[in-house]
Amino acid sequence: MTKRPNFLFIITDQHRADYLGCSGHPVLKTPHIDSIAARGRRFDRFYVANPVCQPNRATLMTGRMPSLHGVRHNGISLSLRSNTFVDLLRASGYRTALLGKSHLQNFESRPPIMQRDDPPEGCTWPTGDFKEALKPVPGDGRYNQEQPESWKENPDYRVDLPFYGYDHVDLCTKHGDEVGGNYDHWLRERVENADGLRGPDNSLPHDYICPQAWRTAVPEALYPTTYVADMTVDFLDRYAVDGDDAPFFAAMSFPDPHHPFTPPGKYWDMYSPDDMTLPASFYPGNHTPPPHVAWARAAREEGSAVINSQNAFAVHEREALEAMALTCGMISLVDDAIGRALSKLEELGLADNTVVIFTADHGDFLGDHGLMLKGPAHYEGVTRVPFLWADTKAAAKPGTCAALAGTIDIGATVLDRAGLAPYNGYQGKSLLPLTKGETETVNDSVLIEDDQQRSYFGYDRPPRIRTLITERWRMTMSHGVTWGELYDLESDPDEMNNLWDDAAHASVRAEMTELLARRQMELVDRSPLPTAVA
């Protein structure tokens, strides 16, 4: 029997596809990530299922679209009853470890923004077990395991294992230098006044004006990215010492380069804003931006934009250039951390039989169309992420892949490589034939779902958006509005010329609308299977 491979699965947070050396960034240096691409397969058209953390991470784990697994937007925890591809690996004998960020449960305990409207006159909404479509399951499990209160109250707090399939968890919650979870405990063991190093009020002097950027006082050796590297190296060392025959799946999950922009030490000024170039779409030129982008630009100009939250907002030139430079610094630190893990695999003699995978949970506008962060605008900077697959040294097939694929396909590919079939209801497809160069396509389109909790970006209700991407076109429709977006990605890669109302492209719009309907039909749930004829 062929020895089953190990997997080192590396994932970053809020990291665009074009912010890597191997994908052509003109300034950023990522030699260790580039080395993964050099010996493996780099996917150029890899898309998220949802452009926000929690829903897309839940899709990664379950292989199901957000409308099926239920995490439609941030603020909904993934049901502990959900099967994950990591569950299947664990059940088949894999040792499984999560080293870093999970975000499968809520980070915050603040009340939700989304509430039900007032009930019809003379009626009241149901309460208790009757509030939702499904009654609560007694003893379903704890859904406060990633919330800060749980960790602060007990210095020995740990998540319940297995945690969505992981046997071992060293958890990071939140972002920048404000990360919590196991990292917070680790930091406090090493620094007497850890809180005195973190946050904008304790930042070192700097002259940057970018919103949500500060020069952290946390040194490089104690920063969350370094913690993730330390925990990964420790796991690999323990695995080698144990010496059993069980293969491993280790998720090395970084909270960066998500905002706030807080690269530590030398990484703060490793890249200069003056060396960055604003994207072509930063200035609308002769093209009229779609209504939601126009709203964001107008809100910033009139001073009503919220620029210190998770919401996307319009950005000024210098702010965008600074954010780009600081993001590069954060990615370089991540790259160095990945280099440590790759070196440890070599040192322990594990590299030959380990598949190394690299991806991100979603992107960041970083100046595209004059915007920053992420939000209900499905430009490629937010929806397209890196994906690198470097198989074991004997099986690796170096090259690039232009086929359409996405986060939903990752678990199916890992399972296929491990010789395991997915559970019923798994919607992702194995990309293994693409990683080997045996076929040129697996998907003819990619569907992106986006159901927001907030009403903003010019929408009068929380946006509900669907995007379909084909080899040439991107079409986006929003519930409750008459306008939409249609872009020719071949002739207009910067997505500046919206063809939605162009009579010459009415047939393309109709064809894409039909394709969208058929794709949504294809992704209707097939679980559970019937238990009888009738």
Residue 516 tokens, joined: 């969208």
pLDDT for 139: 84
Say how far residue 48 (Cα) sits from the centre of its chain.
7
The reply to whether 177 falls in a domain is yes
**Whether the bond into 257 is cis, omega within 30 of 0:** yes
pLDDT for 2: 63
Label each residue of 250-291 as H, E or C.
EEEECCCCCCCECCCHHHCCCCCHHHCCCCHHHCCCCCCCCH
- Check if the beta carbon of residue 14 is closer than 8 Å to that of residue 361: yes
The reply to whether 324 falls in a domain is yes
- Read out DSSP for 48-88? -SSSSHHHHHHHHHHSS-HHHHS--STT-PPPTT---HHHH
- Check if the beta carbon of residue 462 is closer than 8 Å to that of residue 469: no
pLDDT-above-90 percentage for the chain: 90
Residue 303 tokens, joined: 């001073």
Which runs of consecutive H residues, i.e. helices, occur in 348-477?
A: 380-383, 410-417, 432-435
User: What CATH number corresponds to the domain at position 49?
Assistant: 3.40.720.10
Residue 346 tokens, joined: 């070599």
In the sheet that holds 95-101, the strands lie side by side as: 180-181, 168-173, 95-101, 248-253, 6-12, 354-360, 387-390, 41-43, 399-401
The reply to whether 448 falls in a domain is no
Coil, helix or strand for 204? strand
What is the band of 153 on the pLDDT scale with cuts at 50, 70, 90? confident
- What is the C-alpha to C-alpha distance for residues 464 and 456, in angstroms, rounded to an integer? 12
Residue 1 pLDDT > 50, yes or no? no
The reply to whether 478 falls in a domain is no
Q: Of 314, 323, 311, 182, which Cα lies nearest the Cα of 263?
A: 323
- Check if the beta carbon of residue 382 is closer than 8 Å to that of residue 364: yes
Residue 335 pLDDT > 90, yes or no? yes
Give residue-wise pLDDT tens across range 139-150: 889 999 999 999
Residue 492 pLDDT > 50, yes or no? yes
What is the band of 112 on the pLDDT scale with cuts at 50, 70, 90? confident
What is the band of 110 on the pLDDT scale with cuts at 50, 70, 90? confident
The reply to whether 233 falls in a domain is yes
The reply to whether 326 falls in a domain is yes
Say how far residue 270 (Cα) sits from the centre of its chain.
25
Which range marks the domain in which residue 286 is found?
A: 6-108+143-440
Which conformational region is residue 483 in: left (phi greater than 0), alpha (psi within -120 to 50 degrees), or beta? Answer: beta
Paired strand residues for 11: 253, 359
Segment 54-82 mean pLDDT? 97
Residue 489 pLDDT > 90, yes or no? yes
Look at the chain and report how many structural domains it folds into.
1
- What is the C-alpha to C-alpha distance for residues 151 and 184, in angstroms, rounded to an integer? 8
- Check if the beta carbon of residue 79 is closer than 8 Å to that of residue 140: yes
pLDDT for 244: 81
Centre a 10 Å sphere on the Cβ of residue 398 and count the other Cβ atoms it contains.
Answer: 13
The reply to whether 399 falls in a domain is yes
Give residue-wise pLDDT tens across range 187-220: 999 999 999 999 999 999 999 999 999 999 999 9
The amino acid occupying position 174 is K
Residue 318 pLDDT > 50, yes or no? yes
Give residue-wise pLDDT tens across range 358-382: 999 999 999 999 999 999 999 999 9
